[in-house]
Amino acid sequence: MLIISSNFNNLGIMHDFLFKLLRVSASSASAEAKLSFRYDSSIVTKIEFYMQIKSFFPVGMEASWQTELPQLEPNLNSWLNDAGSLTAKLKALSNNFRVELLGQQQLHAHNSEIQFLGITDTHLCIVREVLLNSDDESWVFARSVLPVSSLSDEDQALAEMGNNPLGEVLFQNSSIVPGDIQVAQFDQASNVVRLDNTLHANSVTSLFGRRRLFHLQNGPILVAEVFLSAAPCYAESKASI
């Protein structure tokens, strides 16, 4: 008998469980072998929730990107314009930092991404979207767009990060040069806010994000991040409510 607990704290654990369950089922040697399940009533809901979150891919980040946004609260402005590694900053505030891969696929970039990267609309890109989680709570949605033409043989590992943080690798390589930051606000009509509403019961009315290029030897790649409702950058906004 396989006992299924409801103690799934995040999407990665759920993914690992489902994978192992399928592997056990497939490797059963006896035609008469059966798996018996005893589970908490919440387990089906959690599986459905996991599948719902995965179905958002590709979320995208279409917005009005600017070099600055006026009248931002100091804490939020500091997070948006921090030139250092966001991964390192999140890890410093978290007891348990985890990257959750929503999806990765070879796609064409969005129009604003094409213009920002300086490529044509015929360029194929590796698009990767993840959640950056702190203590089992999603703080950041991140989207990276890697034009295939920008990846040399030495850079191929950047397209094979899986559940590992891309930003950490970018900042550890001194030959990769980060560009200037652009910022944007996302309203209720955007896909990323819909994702946030699914992840968090008490979501904020709008979200803020940033993006920048990282210049490799063969060309740039784009990394964009949107701070979700639970992110610490909104602490001042929540305190004033």
Render pLDDT for 51-95 as a digit per residue (tens, 0 to 9).
Answer: 888 888 999 999 999 999 998 999 999 999 999 999 999 999 999
pLDDT tens readout for residues 40-55: 556 667 678 778 888 8
Tokens 């599948």 correspond to: 51
Out of 22-36, 93-107, 119-133, 174-188, least confident range = 22-36
- Please report the pLDDT score of residue 15 as a whole number: 54
Are 176 and 155 in contact by the 8 Å Cβ rule? The answer is no
- Please report the pLDDT score of residue 192 as a whole number: 96
Distance CA 37, CA 146 (A): 43
Mean pLDDT confidence for 11-32:
50
- Please report the pLDDT score of residue 26 as a whole number: 46
- Helix pair 42-54, 191-199: axis angle to 10 deg: 160
Query: What end-to-end distance do the CA atoms of the chain give, in Å?
Result: 50
Structure tokens at 80: 């948006």
With a pLDDT cut of 90, the percent of the chain lying above it is 69
Domains and CATH numbers, the chain: 2-52 (no CATH), 58-240 (3.40.1410.10)
Distance CA 97, CA 196 (A): 18
- Please report the pLDDT score of residue 1 as a whole number: 44
pLDDT tens readout for residues 171-219: 999 999 999 999 999 999 999 999 999 998 877 789 999 999 999 999 9
- Please report the pLDDT score of residue 12 as a whole number: 55
Distance CA 93, CA 206 (A): 23
Distance CA 139, CA 206 (A): 14
